[in-house]
Amino acid sequence: MIRYGIVGCGHIAKKHVDAIAAVDDAQLVAVCDTNPERLQAFATDGVQGYTDLADMLKNPDIDAVCICTPSGLHADLTIQAAEAGKHVVVEKPMALTLEDADRMIDACEKNGVLMAVVHPNRFRPAIRELRKKMDAGAFGKIGHANATVRWNRNQAYYDQAPWRGTKAMDGGVLMNQAIHNLDLLLWMMGEVDEVQSYQATRIRNIEAEDTSVSVVRFKNGALGVIEAAVTIYPRNLEESLSIFGEKGTAVIGGPTANWIKTWKFEDEPEEVSKETIARIEEDPFGIPGHQCIIQDMTEAIQTGRKPIVSGEEGRRALSLVIACQLAAETGQPVKMDTLERKQKKRG
């Protein structure tokens, strides 16, 4: 039995509670929040509550902690947990800077603990089918790919908590909303060579950007377009991932990227394609993504292997967001290799 504690009892914590409850070899034993009122709702049924993380980390019954706080706090809390010998499941984005991400990875390695980053969309049934096609080479030579997030986060959403929409704690539409889709884009397409980006705060009264459009060139030569906005009226319109190759076209979309919208492959009979689409339509959501993350982390701790979405995997999506932000700030293309070299010098 792997015993978990949760740090931060906000909105996302409920998904972690449900995920831990759904995994046979996982158990929630503690929760921590500096707000006693928020804490009270979670510290029930034998789950011990703490208002101080240091106190919770002294609990020898805790094997792993889930970091569910505002994004800007992820790094320091992860390091604190790692230094206490606890494995870490950290919500996305794992950090807001590459420096912090590297500190987190280093702390976990030095203390012999595992870290998983919550990118649960990899476990969606349609996305798994798409990955199978990528692994099989069914697209042939890929021309380009699109990652699109056209969502609504109204002003009331940002006004409900002072950290939302800030650069220090939220990070903007790419960092907070679109990073899941960027993780999928990289998972399918591989490493990025260069990125150019434009970002703006057009409609929401926030510090960070609410709209972003980027063009990327992958190291395999394919091109890509990233579009992300939280300004769509009046509600979420689309989250999609599209891949276009010489022998195949696939679009995973809907308000969230759970449905197959287009599925055409030269080497696959149309009847087979229709069967795949119909199977996804029957259960587009599958097992909840957070449950998959906790299940995978539980098994990783038990066996000593790395989680599927490790700290290094989480860092890849963060690095792309940082590159887009830098390109927008400077008005110049950013080479990923150059960005990483500068990061190593700073490290």
The C-alpha angle with vertex 253 and arms to 148 and 189, in degrees rounded to 5, equals 60
Q: Categorize the per-residue pLDDT at 345 as very low, low, confident or very high, splitting at 50, 70 and 90.
A: confident
Chain segment 61-88, per-residue pLDDT in tens: 999 999 999 999 999 999 999 999 999 9
Is the link from the previous residue into 93 a cis peptide, with omega within 30 of 0? yes
Chain segment 180-203, per-residue pLDDT in tens: 999 999 999 999 999 999 999 999
Q: Categorize the per-residue pLDDT at 91 as very low, low, confident or very high, splitting at 50, 70 and 90.
A: very high
Listed residue (228, 216, 218) closest to 174, CA to CA: 228
Which ranges of 216-335 does DSSP label H, i.e. alpha helix? 270-282, 289-303, 311-330
Q: Categorize the per-residue pLDDT at 344 as very low, low, confident or very high, splitting at 50, 70 and 90.
A: confident
Average pLDDT, the chain: 97
Report the distance separating Cα 142 and Cα 134, nearest Å: 10
Chain segment 252-309, per-residue pLDDT in tens: 999 999 999 999 999 999 999 999 999 999 999 999 999 999 999 999 999 999 999 9
HEC string of 240-252? Answer: EEEEEECCEEEEE
The tally of CA atoms less than 13 A away on the side-chain side of residue 88 is 34
User: What does the pLDDT read at residue 45?
Assistant: 84
Asked if 148 contacts 177 with a C-beta cutoff of 8 angstroms, the reply is no
User: What does the pLDDT read at residue 343?
Assistant: 85
What percent of the chain is predicted at pLDDT more than 90? 97
Buried b (16+ CB within 10 A) or exposed e, 117-131: bbbbbbbbbbbebbe
User: What does the pLDDT read at residue 29?
Assistant: 98
Q: Categorize the per-residue pLDDT at 346 as very low, low, confident or very high, splitting at 50, 70 and 90.
A: confident
Chain segment 104-148, per-residue pLDDT in tens: 999 999 999 999 999 999 999 999 999 999 999 999 999 999 999
The tally of CA atoms less than 13 A away on the side-chain side of residue 173 is 29
Report the distance separating Cα 296 and Cα 22, nearest Å: 12
Sheet holding 2-7, edge to edge: 48-50, 26-32, 2-7, 64-67, 87-90, 115-117
Report the distance separating Cα 249 and Cα 107, nearest Å: 42
User: What does the pLDDT read at residue 347?
Assistant: 66
pLDDT at 93 over 80: yes
Report the distance separating Cα 54 and Cα 57, nearest Å: 5
Chain segment 7-45, per-residue pLDDT in tens: 999 999 999 999 999 999 999 999 999 999 999 999 988
DSSP state of 283: -
Chain segment 235-252, per-residue pLDDT in tens: 999 999 999 999 999 999
Ordered by where they begin, the domains of the chain are 2-120+290-307 (3.40.50.720), 121-287 (3.30.360.10)
Q: Categorize the per-residue pLDDT at 336 as very low, low, confident or very high, splitting at 50, 70 and 90.
A: very high
The structure tokens listed for 229 are 């906005």
Sheet holding 223-229, edge to edge: 259-265, 248-253, 238-245, 142-150, 223-229, 211-218, 192-200, 334-335
The tally of CA atoms less than 13 A away on the side-chain side of residue 35 is 8
